[in-house]
Structure 1
Amino acid sequence: MTARSDATVTAADVRSAALSLPDTTEKLAWGQPTFRAAGKIFASLADDDTAMGVKCPKEDRAELIATEPEKFFLKEGHDDHYAWLRVRLAALDDAGELAAILADAWRQVAPRRLLAAHPELEGSGEG
């Protein structure tokens, strides 16, 4: 893990990093900003801008939460049924970690043609 910087990752950082990914748009849904690749949601901001939700395979969630519970969590009663994980923005190490997590989530929903067109976004192994 890298050393924590003094700068906290903000909702504005999430928006900027998410919208920098190919074919990504922002759309309000359920009263929250959501970020979509080719129309499919891969991330959203929490109501209070302190956390984000990201697409994440169900089989990966338990290990992420066990390894870094201060960073990753589930919204009880909701996320149990979805391939989704919550991330506390203040717990992120830096903008690079934010970008890696968002890229991982983006890859979960991006269509094959979009993945093929952007090999630079192939798996990073983080997030």
Structure 2
Amino acid sequence: MATVEDVRWLGSSLERSYQVYVRGRLKFRVKQIVYVAFSLDETEMGFAFPKEERAALVAAQPHRFRMPRPSDLRFNWVEADLAALNPAEAREFVVDAWRMVVPKKVTRAYDLAHPDGPG
């Protein structure tokens, strides 16, 4: 079972990433782009995810993943139940979401420094 604490350090350590609280909700941003956000009760994690792949993810694992609310369908976004993820999976989703909002040269540098993926 993953928790916010399993990924907070990671989101804060990724290049160009910083954490903010918006209306009490923890979010991670690169510039003004939010790539990970948690529900107020910290039981759900929304994260950047390719629009063209999210329907398949949600259909395959509806007990773990949900489509974003209708007003957010235009964004590259999906939501997950943190209790249904293990900590390593949650960290992978955070890094993959971050990759969507930073330049390729930044992700290449991360890959060189972390050949085995997020810790």
TM-score range, shorter chain: 0.7 to 0.9
Shift of 1:38: 4.5
Shift of 1:110: 1.0
Aligned identity (percent) is: 31
Which runs of 5 or more residues in structure 2 are unaligned?
none
Select which of 69, 74, 78 maps to 2:67: 74
Which runs of 5 or more residues in structure 1 are unaligned?
1-7
- Which deviations, in whole Å up to 9, do the C-alpha atoms of 1:52-87 show, x marking residues without a partner? 110011101001101111111023323322111001
- Aligned partner of 1:4 in structure 2 is none
Give the TM-score of the pair, scaled to structure 1: 0.78
- Aligned partner of 2:78 in structure 1 is 85
Shift of 1:41: 1.5
Shift of 1:95: 1.5
Name the CA distance, whole Å, in 1 between partners of 2:42 and 2:88.
19
After the TM superposition, which residues 17-56 of structure 1 pair with which residues of structure 2 at under 5 Å, given as runs? Answer: 17-56=10-49
Tell me the SS of whatever aligns to 1:78: helix
State whether residues 72 and 85 of structure 1, in contact with CA within 8 Å, keep that contact through their aligned partners in structure 2. yes
- Aligned partner of 2:54 in structure 1 is 61
- Which deviations, in whole Å up to 9, do the C-alpha atoms of 1:9-53 show, x marking residues without a partner? 112223123223223210122442110135432101111110111
Deviates more, 1:105-114 or 1:11-20: 11-20
Name the CA distance, whole Å, in 2 between partners of 1:95 and 1:40.
24
- State the one-letter code of the partner of 2:109: A
- Aligned partner of 2:5 in structure 1 is 12
Name the CA distance, whole Å, in 2 between partners of 1:57 and 1:104.
10
Name the CA distance, whole Å, in 2 between partners of 1:73 and 1:102.
16
Name the CA distance, whole Å, in 2 between partners of 1:75 and 1:48.
17
State whether residues 36 and 42 of structure 1, in contact with CA within 8 Å, keep that contact through their aligned partners in structure 2. yes
State whether residues 38 and 111 of structure 1, in contact with CA within 8 Å, keep that contact through their aligned partners in structure 2. no
- State the one-letter code of the partner of 2:101: V
